[in-house]
Amino acid sequence: MSALSHYLEAEGVPTVAISLIRLHTERIENPRSLWVPFELGRPLGPPRDAGFQLNVMTQALQLLTAENGPVILAEFPDEDPTSVDLPNWAPPFDLAPPEANLVFDAALEKALQHEAAKALAAYEQFVKINGRTTVGLSRMDVEVIIKYVASFPAQTGQPEPPQGVTAVQLLRWAVDDLKAFYLEAMSAGPAIPASRQMQTWFWDRTLAARVIIALRRLLLGWDDKQSQLVGRMNLVPSAQVQRLGLE
């Protein structure tokens, strides 16, 4: 998005960018940027904190009146208050420890459906509180998503991908929706945990995470480059790949 500012400015439209990766912004040299020390995905800081987010936007827009330049890169002075792990935090639902063995069969689908059902009430509460959800990229509901990912290695009984979309691309979207479903369910409680804390809990504690990791391993072993790319780049976040030693 920072690169687009050069084109907009050339047409006489003033721009301000909020930067999460300082090095990229330094190299692109867009006219006005506010670098924020927040994690990717949280450009305005903590969720459900309107005052903090308004402060970020205000400081960014104030760069429009700055007289120095031609390249301005300001720094937001405060950390995200939710970047620190909450002691004794747990999501607003309880999951049984996943079984040791993982085989892609009907039993796995049943177990995954059972796990997701435990998180469903919390997810619905999150949607009610926030009036929105990021689940929907695959255009499948959670029950169908689980059926799709559980049957993907066998490539049987799966819904037909939309025109122009490969089965691997649809798998990527389904996995994105499944991760969003769990993370939004975890966000339904009154406490706002660190995103890193939620991610760690998900990847360490859920059967869904183990299934996604197994699918990543499957795609990396396929011959076509698209499958390998999706497996390497899109299913498991790079931070978790490193933390879990999946490289």
Query: Which tokens hold the place of 69?
Result: 């330049």
Q: How far apart are alpha carbons 53 and 44 in whole angstroms?
A: 5
Q: How far apart are alpha carbons 247 and 1 in whole angstroms?
A: 30
Q: How far apart are alpha carbons 49 and 54 in whole angstroms?
A: 9
More confident residue, 95 or 144: 144
pLDDT digits (tens, 9 = 90+) for 12-31: 899 999 999 898 889 988 89
pLDDT digits (tens, 9 = 90+) for 129-154: 999 999 999 999 999 999 999 999 98
Q: Where are the beta strands (DSSP E) in 63-220?
A: 72-75
Edge to edge, what strands does the sheet with 72-75 contain?
17-19, 32-35, 72-75
Query: Which tokens hold the place of 118?
Result: 């435990």
For residue 5, list its beta bridge partners.
Answer: none
Q: How far apart are alpha carbons 198 and 192 in whole angstroms?
A: 10
Which stretch of 27-41, 67-81, 93-107, 144-158 has the lowest confidence by average pLDDT? 93-107
Query: Which tokens hold the place of 180?
Result: 């969003």
Within 13 A of 123's CA, how many CA atoms are on the CB side? 18
pLDDT at 3 over 80: no
